[in-house]
Amino acid sequence: MMSEIEGAANWVAEARSVVVLTGAGMSAESSVPTFRDAQTGLWERFEPEQLATEEAFRANTSLVWSWYVWRSILIDAAEPNAGHEAIGSWQKHLAATGGFLTVATQNVDDLHERGGADGVLHLHGALQNYRCLDCNTPVAYDSRSAAIRPGQEFDDDNLLDPVTCSHCATGVLRPGVVWFGERLPEDVFSSAVHAVQHADLVVVVGTSGLVQPAASLPIIGQEADAKVIEINPVPTGLSNTADVYLQSTAAATLPRVLNRLLA
């Protein structure tokens, strides 16, 4: 592992144009559970694909709404971890030395921003950008007004009622995330493609690589001759072809890889 860290630190030292691609594992050490690792309480019974669709939301509005509000409260209570902070510092370091770092994340939380990163590309949207399911108008909603607390467990009797849209007064609010079957925000995805095509280094952190088209981004980078570093405690489809695969966690490993550069 030591020599792999050294190898990664060498690519990092040389890189001027960097893309960091992150998934749910990036926020795991901030106590935000991932999608495909074991879930807790009520949510244990559901696959993400069962909850994260418009069809599921229309069919089981209280259940799916409660799931997102629960996740939103968890995110509000979470703090960015040492990995988020290392990425934020790296971006500032590169900007100050004529380089460039883009963060493209599948995460709908704001922990990269709170960890100091700017211009984060949210491939799957942002949870707190609520809008009406029917009239599509953005509507502010503060999940702290919901009658649940961080860590609260749900059962079928204490689900939250959906919130009616204050604009059209008929639809209900939905979270600003990209559900299965929906298109990614086109400008965000094309910016991410452009960034990996022009990167000399792509760092992939905490994603299972099972959801397209986000999973294609490291491959597009490789095809354009970018080096790829992957950080994930569990090997993925990318681990064999990455230039360096670090079998460890985001918060433990990113600061070690960046230590020499940011010292």
- Contact between 72 and ligand OAD (CB under 6 A)? no
23 contributes a contact to ligand OAD by CB under 6 A: yes
Residue linked to tokens 């940011």: 262
Shorter beta-carbon distance to ligand OAD: residue 117 or 211: 211
DSSP code per residue over the chain: -HHHHHHHHHHHHH-SEEEEEE-GGGGGGGT---SSS---GGGGG--HHHHSSHHHHHHSHHHHHHHHHHHHHHHHH----HHHHHHHHHHHHHHHTT-EEEEEES--SSHHHHTT--S-EETTB-TT--EETTT--B----GGGSS--TTPPP-TTSPPPP-B-TTTSSSBEE-SBPPTTSPPPHHHHHHHHHHHHT-SEEEEES--S-STTGGGHHHHHHHTT-EEEEE-SS--TTTTTSSEEE-S-HHHHHHHHHHHHH-
- Of 245, 195, 246, 189, the C-alpha closest to 224 is 195
Question: Site for ligand OAD (CB under 6 A): which residue of 19, 24, 56, 238?
Answer: 24
Q: What is the largest CA-CA distance in the chain?
A: 60
Site mask for ligand OAD (CB under 6 A), range 174-193, x = bound: ---xxx--------------
Q: Is 29 in the site for ligand OAD (CB under 6 A)?
A: yes
Whether residue 124 lies in the annotated active site: yes
Q: At what angle do helices 82-96 and 250-262 cross, to 10 degrees?
A: 30
Residues numbered 79-118 forming contacts with ligand OAD, rule: CB under 6 A: 106
Tell me the C-alpha distance between 147 and 248, whole Å.
37
CB nearer to ligand OAD: give 182 or 223: 182
Task: Indicate the residue among 166 and 182 with the shorter CB distance to ligand OAD.
Answer: 182
- Select which of 124, 167, 194, 198 is catalytic: 124
Q: Name the minimum Å distance from CB 143 to ligand OAD.
A: 16
- Shorter beta-carbon distance to ligand OAD: residue 59 or 95: 59
Tell me which stretch binds ligand OAD (CB under 6 A): 10-18, 165-173, 202-210, 237-245: 202-210
CB of 222 to ligand OAD, least distance (A): 18
* Contacting range for ligand OAD; rule: CB under 6 A; set: 3-11, 25-33, 62-70, 190-198: 25-33
Question: What are residue 258's phi and psi, to 5 degrees?
Answer: -95, -5
Q: CB 65 → ligand OAD: shortest distance, Å? A: 15
Of 12, 15, 18, 52, the one binding ligand OAD (CB under 6 A) is 52
Residue 205 C-beta: closest distance to ligand OAD, Å: 6
Site for ligand OAD in 208-237 (CB under 6 A): 208, 210-211, 231-234, 236
Residues that bind ligand OAD (CB under 6 A): 23-25, 28-29, 34-37, 48, 52, 106, 124, 177-179, 205-208, 210-211, 231-234, 236, 249-250
By annotation, the residues acting in catalysis are: 124
